[in-house]
Chains A and B, each alone.
Chain A
Amino acid sequence: EPEVTQTPSHQVTQMGQEVILRCVPISNHLYFYWYRQILGQKVEFLVSFYNNEISEKSEIFDDQFSVERPDGSNFTLKIRSTKLEDSAMYFCASSEGGRGRGYTFGSGTRLTVV
């Protein structure tokens, strides 16, 4: 069964450093997403991406965040200057889009900011 692949599985970074989280969505999917889950809290929507541009973003997705699809397969989330409160599990997801379509999530990247 097709999978969404995320790398790395765990990243530790110092506060103020830039991190790039990588995702390979399912190849025939058209919509891509990033979500995050702070330990013990809800899964929160960050951003959706369609047709090579951001479709929607939440209040969490401020100027320190950016997304990119640099080639035909990768989808990245960049955090420019990490803060302690950015520590969370980050999930990438993709879907075929349209009504009635489920999402396929990756296994996540656990980001720890120290």
Chain B
Amino acid sequence: SQQGEEDPQALSIQEGENATMNCSYKTSINNLQWYRQNSGRGLVHLILIRSNEREKHSGRLRVTLDTSKKSSSLLITASRAADTASYFCATDAYSGGGADGLTFGKGTHLIIQP
């Protein structure tokens, strides 16, 4: 798999249920970030987890990071119709001395059925 590979590619759940998306990556990272993209719109930064962190919460979002398995998960609890969007993980391999770019996965398209 490529750096920042999410699964599933698509997920459809009922409103109120929890949604879990996974991301795997290949190289060492400094942090991993999750973004949301509504159809045809820009990327919205959701949450960032550093390589020395294992879990982070922000509102209804919970992110975990397992650097030994090079994987991360994003959990959205009590989903709402407005959560319908594509979700991307992006890895930051910032190496110091410069501004390295993020490497994005292909994303998980989440559909919340009302």
Contact = CB atoms under 8 A, between A and B. Distances in A.
Contacts of B44: 105
B42 A55 contact: no
Interface stretch (B16-24, B63-71, B72-80, B92-100): B92-100
Contacts of A50: 98-99
Secondary structure of the A side of the interface?
strand
A13 B21 CA distance: 38
B45 A99 contact: no
A105 B45 contact: yes
Contact of A56 (B35, B43, B101): B101
Contacts, number: 70
A56 B92 CA distance: 13
A33 B99 contact: yes
Interface in B27-82: 30-31, 33, 35, 40-45, 48, 50
Q: Classify chain A: how many residues form its interface, as a range.
A: 20 to 34
B13 interface: no
Contacts of A93: 43
B107 to A, nearest CB: 8
Contact of B101 (A58, A99, A101, A107): A58
Nearest to B48: A102
A45 B94 contact: no
Interface of A: 31, 33, 35, 41-50, 55-56, 58, 89, 91, 93, 95, 97, 99-108, 110
Given A35-B102, A105-B35, 8 more contacts: A35-B101, A41-B106, A45-B101, A45-B103, A56-B99, A91-B43, A107-B42, A108-B41
Interface of B: 30-31, 33, 35, 40-45, 48, 50, 88, 90, 94, 98-107
Query: What are the 10 A-B residue pairs with the smallest beta carbon separation, nearest first?
Result: A45-B101, A107-B42, A48-B99, A43-B104, A105-B43, A31-B99, A102-B45, A55-B98, A55-B99, A102-B48
